[in-house]
């Protein structure tokens, strides 16, 4: 049977090369008795490949048992897999057959095989090499004729380095490896899967199936799908049940995609000293502009305080100079080498002019009194001498403005 017919029989959706390659390997290895190790991220659909292998093997009429190794407590895993004798432990009121005994002549699928305790791994290795095992509490060797297919979403080579998985068991299981690609490597399959799931849930809940507009479809394909096919199916079911509108746009779809907004934030890169730095100059400039905006707001508050009559609390304008100098803090590291920052005047000086402006640059005075006078004069000119409007523009009372006019002889 070719790959396309296998996909139809087992309801596998997708046409990417990685998926077709995994199915083709399963088809070719099925007639043999070789052990198979299926790897791939959680939610990619690894559980369908043991069924394909069993269905096309000479053991297809035998027992097929799927065991989730991560769901069985460590204290009972040996009993579940290999059986136990009566009285071998508390609660063992009668003898019990294990999965390897029940599945003899068939296939046993060990899902999440990396979760097996090291002691159980030793027992499993013996079964793979000799077909022999011992029931818990028994010294009688029993034989089994079973094909073992294992699957995991864990990097077993790393688990071996960490001492959590036996290297000899890894090579015994990994006789034929099958790698199931994650959904993010199958972008053209995402709309097909969504359509299949939407039709299935429409039939299940007896409602019209949901569809996506063009923008939502592009968003669906661009999303990374950390939960893979399982997450896509879950999202499709949620939208089918919750949303009344059967045509889904990107605004609705985003609500069901965890972490979508955070994926669009500027990326941070780890430097040599493990401190994050912005990825490019544009983001550096954004950061400086945000800092400058905060400093400008502080300067406005300070000037307003002076206009209210608290200028005597500022000694030698040191606080103001500090705020102004902060406006250019960090700019020296961003500008080209042809620019320098003059710390005395906080003005930018060009050693070699690069841009030619139509206006002549002049050094401005940083005197707060001069700035205060200039602001009052501009406000009065703007409102043709109307003090009430000028005071509102400056954010001070009309009485304070009148006092300042008298103080600076601006009559």
pLDDT exceeds cutoff 80 at 386:
yes
Predicted confidence (pLDDT) per residue in 238-254, tens digit: 999 999 999 999 999 99
pLDDT at 58 (0 to 100)? 95
pTM: 0.63
pLDDT at site 269: 42
Q: What is the pLDDT of residues 152-171, one digit of tens each?
A: 999 999 999 999 999 999 99
Q: What is the pLDDT of residues 174-203, one digit of tens each?
A: 999 999 999 999 999 999 999 999 999 999
Predicted confidence (pLDDT) at residue 325 exceeds the cutoff of 80:
no
Which domains occur in the chain, in start order?
3-181 (3.40.50.300), 184-263 (1.10.8.60), 281-349+364-407 (no CATH)
- For residue 108, the cross-strand partners are 65, 148
Residues 51-90: tens digit of each pLDDT: 999 999 999 999 999 999 999 999 899 999 999 999 888 8
């Amino acid at each position: 049977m070719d790959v396309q017919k296998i996909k139809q029989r087992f309801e596998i959706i997708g046409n990417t090369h990685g998926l077709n390659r995994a199915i083709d390997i399963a088809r070719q290895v099925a007639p043999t008795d070789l052990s198979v190790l299926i790897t791939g991220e959680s939610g990619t659909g690894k559980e369908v490949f043991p069924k394909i292998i069993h269905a096309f093997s000479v053991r297809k009429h035998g027992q097929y048992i799927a065991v989730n190794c991560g769901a069985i407590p460590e204290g009972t895993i040996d009993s579940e897999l290999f059986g136990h004798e009566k009285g071998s432990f508390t609660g063992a009121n009668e003898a019990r057959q294990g999965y390897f005994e029940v599945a003899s002549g068939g296939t046993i699928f060990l899902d999440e095989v990396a979760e097996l305790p090291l002691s159980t791994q030793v027992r499993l290795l013996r079964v793979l090499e000799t077909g022999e095992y011992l029931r818990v509490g028994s010294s009688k060797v029993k034989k089994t004729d079973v094909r073992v297919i294992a699957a995991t979403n864990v990097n077993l080579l790393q688990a071996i380095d960490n001492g959590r998985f036996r290297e000899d068991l890894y090579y015994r299981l990994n006789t034929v490896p099958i790698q199931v690609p994650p959904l993010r490597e199958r972008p053209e399959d995402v709309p097909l899967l969504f359509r299949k799931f939407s039709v299935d849930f429409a039939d299940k809940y007896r409602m019209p199936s949901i569809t996506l507009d063009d923008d939502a479809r592009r968003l669906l394909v661009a999303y990374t799908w950390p939960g893979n096919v399982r997450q896509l199916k879950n999202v499709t079911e949620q939208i089918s049940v919750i949303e009344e509108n059967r045509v889904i746009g990107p605004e609705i779809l985003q609500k069901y995609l965890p972490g979508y907004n955070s994926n669009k934030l500027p990326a941070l890169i780890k430097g040599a000293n493990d401190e994050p730095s912005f990825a490019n100059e544009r983001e550096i400039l954004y950061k400086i502009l945000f800092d400058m905006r905060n400093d400008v707001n502080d300067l406005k508050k300070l000037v307003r305080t002076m206009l209210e009559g608290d200028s005597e609390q500022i000694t030698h304008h040191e606080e103001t100079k500090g705020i102004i100098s902060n406006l250019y803090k960090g700019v020296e590291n961003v500008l080209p080498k042809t620019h320098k920052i003059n710390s005395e005047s906080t003005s930018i000086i060009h050693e070699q002019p690069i841009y030619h402006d139509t206006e002549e640059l002049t050094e401005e005075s940083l005197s707060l009194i001069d700035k205060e006078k200039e602001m009052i004069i501009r406000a009065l000119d703007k409102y043709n001498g109307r003090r009430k409007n000028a005071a509102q523009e400056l954010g001070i009372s009309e009485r304070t403005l009148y006092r300042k006019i008298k103080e600076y002889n601006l009559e």
